[in-house]
Structure formats: C-alpha cells, structure tokens
Amino acid sequence: MTVALRSALVGLALVATVGSSVVAQETWREPPPEIVRILDAPPLPYVSPGPNGDVTLFLERENLPPLREMAQPMLKLAGTRVNPATNARFGPRSIVGVRLEDAAGETIHEQNMVRGEGLGFPSWSPDGTRALFTVTHVEADAPGVGLALLDAAKGGWFPITGRDVNTLGVSPQWVPGRNGIVAGFVPTDRGDAPEESPVPAGPVVQENLGGVPAPVRTYQDLLEDPHDEALFDHHFTSQLKLLDLDGAPPKDLGPPGVYVDATPSPDGRFLLVERLERPYSYLVPWYRFPRVVEVWDLDGNVVAELARLPLAERIPIQGVLTGPRNHAWRATAGTAEVVWVEALDGGDPNVEAEERDRVLMLGAPFTGEPREVARLEDRYSGLAWVADGDDALVTEYDRDERWVRSWLVDCGASVEGARDPVLVFDLSVQDAYGDPGDPVTERNAAGRSVVRLVDGGMLLEGRGASAEGDRPFLDHRDLLTGETRRLWRNAGEEYESVVDVLPGVEDGALTVVTRRETPSEPPNYYRRRVPLDGGESTRVAMTSFEHPAPELLDVRKELVTYARGDGVQLSATLYLPPGHEDGDVHPLVVWAYPREFNDPSMAGQVRGSPYRFTIFGGSSHLFMLTQGYAVMDGATMPVVGDDPETVNDTFIDQIVSSAAAAIEEAVSRGVADGDRAAVGGHSYGAFMTANLLAHSDLFKAGIARSGAYNRTLTPFGFQAERRTFWEAPETYFELSPFMHADQVDEPLLMIHGMDDNNSGTFPIQSERMYHAVKGHGGTARLVMLPYESHGYRARESVMQTLAEMVDWLDRWVKGEPGT
C-alpha cells in the first residue's frame, strides 16, 4: 500500500449497526476529557544506575508521539521494518532526553533532544565512566543515525560521528582494553537506493522439489521479489569501522557486507563476525538466511572461519539448526574463546533422543578441534558465566514438561576431565511459587555481564510470587551445596523490588537500588543497605517523583482469588472506580489473556500484587474505571491439560468456565452487575473474546484488539498449539471464532493496526471476521488504525481507541441496572 493511499485512509472506520451497514470516513476522536488529562501527563523517566554505583541515569520519555512520526516512509524487508530516510529501524522516538546525577542527587549533565531526535538505550564503557548513545535524526535536513557519548567524569555530551551509522545489523560496541568502539557505517560509495522497474522482468517463482518437509510459522514483512532483495542489500550492507576515541582516524575493517554481528572479544584482540549471504528467502526472516561465522583481528583480517550455515527454511516447528548455532564469546575478562551449541537430535524436538544438545568451546588461535564442555538431555536455552572463573550456568529446557534445569558446569576442561556438573535449578517454568529468582550479575573488567559471587555464593533476586501476591526478595545461595539464606524480602502494604545491586560490600552489607510504590504513591527509587547476615535493612530515598495523575488516587483495587467449576483456582485484580462507595454496583469489564498449563495447581497460583501503583497509560482498558466501570484485570484463563499436544482440545470449555467464575466472583462481592458485563482482550486475548461471544451468553458485548480469528491462516501452529492444521483439523476449526461467526450474537468491537506485523495477526484477520459477523446479521464495528502495528503508539490512535471503547461499552453494556 502506498503512503498516499494509507494517508487517505486516516480516520476510516467500518461501522455495523443493527439492521444496517455503513462505511464512513471519520475524523480523529478523543475520549472523555478526564482520560485525555491522564494520557497527557508527563510519564515518569526510566531510571538506570551506572555500573560503578556512583551515578544514575534518568532517561526522559515521550508519552504519545504524534501520528506524523508513525507516517514516516517504511520498507518491509526480511522481517524488519526500515525507515529508508534514516537507514534505521522504523519507529517513533521514545527516549527524548537524559539527565545524569551523582550519588548525592546533584545533576552532572542534562541533555534534551530537539523535535525529530531520539535516543537509544545507553551502552556503558568497560570502566563505567561513559555511556554510548545512538542519536536518530528524523525530522531534519540530514536524517540519519549518529553516536554520542555522555561522560560521567567530565559531565559533557560529545557527538563522535556524523549521521552515517548503520545499526540495522550491527550494534555499536566498546572494545575492551582500548579506548575504541566498533560500529557499522553506511558505505561511502553506496549511492541511491535501487528503483523498482514498473515492468517486472518476469514472474516471482518459488519451488519445492519434495523430500524433506519444510513447515514454517506465519511470518510477516518478508521479502517478496528481486527488488526487495536489492533494497535489503542496499540498506543492510555496512562498512565495519574501528573508532579510536584518542583521536586517530576511523579504520575500515574488512570489506562492506551484510553484517549482523561484530562483537569484540573480552581481551580486545578479536571480533566475532557474522555476515549474511545469498540465496535469500521469501519464506523466512533474515535471521534464517545463510550466514558465515568468522573470527577477525582488529585489522579486519579473517583469522578463522567457524561455521558456514545454509538457508534455514527446513527447521522443524519449535526445532533448531542442525549445525553450530548461538556463537558467542566467553564473557570472562582477558579471554578469547568462542562458545557455541550443536544439536544431537537433528534439531527436531519430535525425535526421541537421550541427548539433544552439546556445548563446545574453541580458543585462540582458533585451530584444532573444539572441546566439548557439556551434553544436555533437553534443549539448550542459555549460558551465564560465573564471575571470571571457568564455571558457567548452563540451562536446558524440556518443552513437553515445560521444565528447566540449570547446571554449574566446569568449562575449563572437556567433559571427560571436568568436575561433574552440579544441578543448581530444577523446576517447572510454570511454578511461580517455586521460582528461586534470577542470578544477580555484575560487569567485569571487559564490560561483560557475569554472575556475581559474594561470600562464596551467588545472589538471587525474584518477584516472590505467593498466595498473598508478589513479594520480591534477595537471597544468597551457595553454588555447590545449594544452601540458601534470605537477605531481604518486601513486606507491608507496599511493593518494593530490586533494580540493581551496586558493586562492593561495605561493613558486611550490600547496597541495593530498589523501586518502591504503593497503590497511591508513584514508583520512587531507594538505596537500601542489606546486611549479608540477614540483619535489619534500611533505605534512603534517591528520587521523589510526584503522582502524575492525582485523579486516580481514589481508585480501589484488590487481589482476589476464586475457583471455577472444576476446582481450578483463579485470580484477578479487581479495580473499583473513583468515588465507589459501599453498596455501589457497577457494570463490569473482564480483561484477560489465556495461558496453557500442565498442572492445575500451578495454574491456580497467584501472580501480581495488590500494592502496585495505580497508573495506566496508552490504550489501557483500565481507563474504563474513569467511566464508572469495575474491572477484573488479568482474570486468569488457564487452559490445563496433562498432554501439551492436546491441551487445546478443551480450550473453549475452560475459558467459558473461567469467565463465568470471574463474573460470579465480582457479583458475589456486591460490586458488579452480572447482567452488565463485557469481555475484552488484546492479541490472543482478542481471540479469546470472540470465542466467548460465540460460545456463551455471559457477556453483553466484547472488545477484541489486534486478534486472529481464523486459525487456518496459521496452519503450522499458533500460540502453544504444536499440531499443524492437517494433524488436528477439528481443533483448528472449533477454536476459530471465524467458523462460528453465525453464533456471535453480542456486539463485537474490533480494533486493529493496519500495519500489524505480529506473527499470525494479519490485519485481514479482523477484516474477514467483521465481514463474517456482518454477513450473518451480527452487530460489529471494525476500526483500522493507519500506520499502527500490533500495539498502538501514536497519540491520535490511542485517543481513538479509548474513545471507541468508551462509546461501545456505554452503548451496549452500561445501560441501567438489570437491563
């Protein structure tokens, strides 16, 4: 679709009313003024402590960018959206300023971007004294991406390049041990983008000669023809350069190419380089294109070729490559060893195998045979180096049981000569109550993230899910014995979580940065002293942000638990509108997202906290509170089954039962009118919403945003469904609300971004569902938002979405009690 055509569709709405069908051009609308005031309140900044603990970064955000930023030119190339003017990923700016404070809270430097300039997230230098930012210039005579430094010592902002940085493939990275940065740049002799001939040279042909099956998931924004291939090469090709910050001129590294990685080794001597090669594919994104993995020196010479990987069009669903994959440097400072993974089962999760993966390593000079450091019964899912020693935490995942195990592995020797692996974590990924937390990391001398060791063990921070809600914690765990002691746990009618653990131990205590909030107090940051012996902890405030929307102070919320008919425990956060008084009964909105579980006891675990700050933004359904609705937010809709292959066979029955239980709980508390209830959801929640309207009479109306409704359009699996359409046609049919559009007899509002690139949720999903409901005389309204993707960003789009939701609920749900 051309930019001109899409611009002409701004404000287009497809409207269905009882007994009539109207297609109308509308202008942008706004919701009630109380919602507009909340949306326009300045958002709280992101807060990021510096790696040395002596400074703090405050990243100022733009709340709702104007639609004109979404209307910039866009190319859809191999699964990536590109702004051709900037040669960068497409999207509106998010970070629009940065403020640097010292430990005493005094401002060292403040930098605000002008209109049309946006910042990327910072990358700290290995010594923690400077932060590297990308600066994207959009609305300028010279659009493009440049690099700038924020110097914590000098307190200054220093642009270090022009606007010719290419971040489409390679992210700028610091080189350990030297004052330099490796980055990709637009080649100086690139020339203009290739123009598309109005007369094609011939047809676009794809051919499969049989033999090995080649199932693929539903991808979007793929290459479509030779012109797209030429555009992909034009925009993704970069020239790697070494920037010397001591004043020497930039040095070209190797020839221009389509590079997707160029990471310096922790000893600063080499680069791990990955570049794409043809043939490209029209079926899969760029990360499945053929690639070469090499080690270079810092003069751009190839030291070793580690792998040459073919086009990955024939990977089994939920499978992996058969050859080497996941190449990365060992993170230990002063080393130059590459670690990677290889499948032992052909990469196919459906193949019976005693071992699925092995982990290998090879060090400089990168000759000879690699050493095997681990063999895994299940699929490799991650590796974290422990401090600067030879140990690493290697994690594997069992997809059938949804189970993870992490092993402490001695990577200093091959499997035969190493210490036996020690099992550190062993639990279901669905067991929120049993989650031990995540290891706390620190930056080593090379600037790499490694698991921090303190007092002979590691620190674990987690959300602390419990029957009373989340209670974040900080633990100490001995790596070899597993002995764990609690250092700190959130308590009281507040929610406080760990943001960072600062370097060092002072007087037997850690300094921990936490984020604290209550239902009426906005998140603020604290330095908390946490004794290693578990003694009393104290805190000192770092920030004092004020409530951005005081009109929400009167909102009441409660974490509620209840059970559905089969005994599975459920939970939700029940919100009551401002001004609620005892005895008030409100129309109800149930907002949810289904999830699959193996074990009903885990499905019933409480997730969330009643002590979180009450604020919302964007197109949140919680804005309905301002209009007098009660909201059951995050009402759990578990789909439970012992066999993950067939769990969806009872999807409909289980979500209907869960929805009925949610309404019954709100009604039993005397705060909601069960005859005036609506259901809503986004993405898979939209799919759920349409199914609930088709298969029950629980709700008076529904709101479905960015959903998928015809599962035959995602025939090689969706969400947690592993079977293909041809293996389980009845399930695909029964779960598709499109197939039951004649049963949707309650009003359905559908909203969808016209540029949705989420897998499976093509905009045509909502268009076809609307036509199906309309064709059977149902009541429906379809709102297509120009330039928007799966979520909605622009101010005009968010305002329109909320106005539509308020109007729809007021029209079809609110009414009078008992109507």
Report the first-to-last Cα separation within the chain, whole angstroms.
45
Active site (annotated) includes residue 790: yes
Active site (annotated) includes residue 668: no
The tokens for 602 are: 């885990």
Give the residue ranges of the chain where pLDDT is below 50: 1-19
DSSP string, 338-381: EEEEEESSTT-TTS--S--EEEEEEETT--SPPEEEEEESSEEE
The DSSP H or E segment spanning 553 is none
pLDDT in tens, 335-387: 999 999 999 999 999 899 999 999 999 999 999 999 999 999 999 999 999 99
Residue 344 C-beta-side C-alpha neighbours within 13 Å? 17
Catalytic one of 227, 790, 807, 810:
790
pLDDT at residue number 20: 52
Catalytic one of 357, 435, 673, 756:
756
How confident is the prediction for the chain on average, in pLDDT?
A: 92
What is the C-alpha to C-alpha distance for residues 597 and 603, in angstroms, rounded to an integer?
A: 6
pLDDT at residue number 218: 82
pLDDT at residue number 140: 74
Catalytic one of 265, 381, 571, 683:
683
Q: 609-612, long-range: CB within 8 Å, 24+ apart, which pairs? A: 609/469, 609/470, 609/471, 609/495, 609/559, 610/469, 610/519, 610/557, 610/558, 610/559, 610/573, 611/469, 611/493, 611/494, 611/495, 611/517, 611/518, 611/519, 612/495, 612/517, 612/519
pLDDT in tens, 222-253: 999 999 999 999 999 999 999 999 989 999 99
**Going edge to edge, which strands form the sheet with 357-363?**
325-329, 337-343, 357-363, 371-376
Angle, to 10 degrees, between the axis of helix 651-668 and the axis of helix 684-695? 80
- The distance between the two most distant Cα atoms of the chain, rounded to a whole number of Å, is 79
| CA 700 vs CA 424, 678, 680, 745, 773: distances in Å | 50, 6, 11, 9, 16
